[in-house]
Structures are given as structure tokens and as C-alpha cells.
Amino acid sequence: MKKTGRLIGLGLALMGLLLTAGCGGGETTAEKETLMVYNWGDYIDPQVLDDFEAEFNVDVIYEEFATNEDMYVKIKAGASNYDVAIPSDYMINKMIKEDLLLPINFENVPNYDLIDAKYKDWSFDPENTYSVPYMWGTIGIIYNTTMVDEPVTSWEILWDEKYEKNMYMLNSQRDTLAVAQEILGISLNSTDEQELEQAKQLLIEQKPLVSSYVGDEVKDLMVGGNAALALVWSGDAVTMSAQNPDLEYVIPEEGSNYWVDSMVIPVTSQNPELAEQFINYMCRTDVALKNAEYIGYNTPQVEVFEQLPEELTSDENFYPTEEILNNCEVFEDLGDAQPLYDRIWTEILAS
């Protein structure tokens, strides 16, 4: 009995603490505006968010997603009021078509002028009515030079039985399918069922060699030397090779996917003006530099590019030349063929 009494006492004391803590917090937050940001995992310098909160006297609620498809499903369901999201090109196109985005008032985003024209007016949002570029990059192979002796030039190395259970692929349908599409020499935006069946067969063939289909955990796994090869996004490769000098990144000669992730305002936003302020803030040179240095992805900003270390910006694998980029393809929204991709991806995973 004594024990129970003490336990109840402890419980009550804890509850009291929580209640007072809750009240204390409530008083101050009531006056502050809140901004809900929905971004990829590991895709911002957390300091930048703290600074924004302090500078603009707001609360930022920050949530993360692992793939464009995850993000789309959540925003489409409309259950959460995100003010800013940062999807990729083809997904932005899909969201524009489905009226999921608000046009941006560029009077509130003067820093848009700092962005290199190369990354503006892409076909997914021809006049950048809805989106402001945040980062860009490619996909490629990261390999551990202590485990791979041969030069890595082709995607086909991911089908080499020498590396059985010694490689990771991405648990992201467009990116992993892109590898098979590059090998087969078909478009990354193909909607031809036969071509896609071929790509599916190729990936099913590869499946016994793959150790696992991963997301952001690939970084820890590769840095820890757990596998020889992995399919990754270019910026993550920068982070990984900084932590483990044995890791090198390459864009295979067949070509790759060239993408840009941009900031958008979903229609569910409660405070589009604050969202625009945030987007403008993210485009400020000092902030964009912090982000680019922290996450390793390619900046679309002219000044930031100049301020980055030269050994990074002169590396063709990370900042590819025009020639390499011309050999790459941008993902487009698949429209009615999306269910076909979904089915094929489900079948690959289920096999």
C-alpha cells in the first residue's frame, strides 16, 4: 500500500509539473505566429530555423518526409496546414495541375533575383509562378574505394555479382527505376508499358544482389563502411565523402537524373505572407550559404556558388559540366501513367 501511495504521489507531482510547464508555454506562444514547414529529411541547417524564429518572432513547426510521393499523399489528404513545402520538379508540376499550390507574390520575395537564371523557368513551372528553387543535383553511384578496385563508369556495376549483398538502392520509385531506364536507354519519363516491364524485370533481376532499399539511413551505412556501392542523391554524397574520405561519387556515363527542388506554398497554408517571408529568408545569401554548406547540395544562387570552397564547385561529379547535364534527363509528371509506375514499383518490392 505504501508503495502505491508513493507512486500516486509521484505521478501527481509529475502531472503538476507538466501542467504548469504547458501553461507557461501557452502564454507566450499565443501572441506568436506559427509557420509550418514540410521538408526532406536532413535537408536544412537547423540553425537557420532557430535564427528565423528569433529574427521574425515566430514559431516554426518543422516536419520531414522521405520521398516526393510521401509528401504528395499527405498534402493531398489535406489533413495538415503546411505553409511551405520543398518538393522536386515533377511533383511540383503534378501539384500545380491538381490546384494544390498557391501562386507566390514575388513582391515579398525580392531575393528571388539572386537565383541563377539557369534554374528558373523550367517546364514544370514555366514562369516560376508557384516555386522558388532551393537546391539542385543529380543521382549517381557512391562507392567505397577500399572495396571497389575497378573504375566506376557505368550503372551496370550495380548488376555485378561480385558485389552481391554489398550495395544499397533508394526506396524511392522514380530514382531506382531511373537506373534501369538509363541502362536500357529509355526515357526516364517513358509511359510505354513494354519498356517499363523491361525496366521492372531488370530491377527484379538485381534484387538478390541488393542488400537493402533505403532512405536517409544510407548515409550512416555507407560512412560506416557497410557496403561497397550505393545509389544516392549527389548532395548526400558530398556529406558522406566529407565524413569518410574513402567514398567517391560518380555520375555514370549512361546519364542520370537532373533535378531541382523548389519551395512552394500549399493551398492549405494559413499564412501565405509569412510563408513568402520564409522563402525570401531562405534565399538570402548568408542563409543559403549556411544551408548549402550544411547539407552539401548544389546551390542555385550565384553569390553562394562563388563563396563555396573551390574544391567542391570545381568537382565535375558534384557540379557537373553542361556536357554532362545535357546527357541527363529531368523527371516530368507522369500524369495518367502514375498508377502504372506505382504498380511496377509495388511489384518490384513484392517480388
Partner 1 sequence: MKRNWMAYPYFFWMLLFTIVPLLMVLYFSFTASVNGDGRFSFANFQRVLDPLYLNVIWRSVRLAFISTVICLVLGYPVAMLLAQSQASRQFTLIVLFVIPMWMNFLARTYAWMTLLERNGLINTFLGWFGLGPYNLLHTEFAVVLGMIYNFLPFMVLPIYTVLNKMDPALTEASYDLGATPIRTFFRVTLPLSLPGVLSGISMVFMPAVTTFVIPQLLGGGQFTMIGNLIEQQFLRSNDWGFGSALSIILMLLILLSMRIMSHYDRDRGEGGGFF
Which residue ranges make up the site for partner 1 (CB under 8 A)?
Answer: 67, 69-70, 72-73, 76, 165, 171, 173, 207, 210-214, 217, 221, 224-227, 339, 342-343, 345-347, 349-351
Describe the chain by its helix, strand, coil percentages, rounded to 5. 50, 20, 30
Q: Which is nearer to partner 1, 309 or 339 (CB)?
A: 339
Q: Which is nearer to partner 1, 171 or 285 (CB)?
A: 171
**Count of alpha carbons within 13 Å of 305, Cβ hemisphere only?**
17
Q: Are the CB atoms for 130 and 96 separated by under 8 Å?
A: yes
Nearest approach, Cβ of residue 207 and partner 1 (Å): 7
Q: Which is nearer to partner 1, 38 or 52 (CB)?
A: 38
> Checking phi first, is residue 239 left (phi over 0); if not, alpha (psi -120 to 50) or beta?
alpha
Q: Which is nearer to partner 1, 110 or 224 (CB)?
A: 224
Nearest approach, Cβ of residue 239 and partner 1 (Å): 19
Q: Which is nearer to partner 1, 97 or 343 (CB)?
A: 343
Q: Which is nearer to partner 1, 30 or 350 (CB)?
A: 350
**Phi, psi dihedral angles at 24 (to 5 degrees):** -55, -45
| Secondary structure class of 82 (helix, strand, coil) | coil
Outline where 224-337 has alpha helix (H): 234-243, 272-282, 285-295, 302-307, 310-313, 322-326
Nearest approach, Cβ of residue 44 and partner 1 (Å): 22
Q: Which is nearer to partner 1, 74 or 284 (CB)?
A: 74
Nearest approach, Cβ of residue 70 and partner 1 (Å): 6
Report CA torsion sign: 276, 57, 64, 242.
positive
Q: What CA–CA distances, in Å, run from 311 to 219, 223, 243?
A: 21, 21, 16
Q: Which is nearer to partner 1, 120 or 174 (CB)?
A: 174
Nearest approach, Cβ of residue 169 and partner 1 (Å): 8
Rg of the chain on CA atoms, in Å: 23
Angle at 88 between CA 127 and CA 181, to 5 degrees: 115
Nearest approach, Cβ of residue 242 and partner 1 (Å): 19
Nearest approach, Cβ of residue 165 and partner 1 (Å): 5
Nearest approach, Cβ of residue 73 and partner 1 (Å): 5
Helices (H) then strands (E): counts for the chain: 14, 9
In 3D space, the residue among 264, 279, 255, 263 whose CA is nearest the CA of residue 331 turns out to be: 255
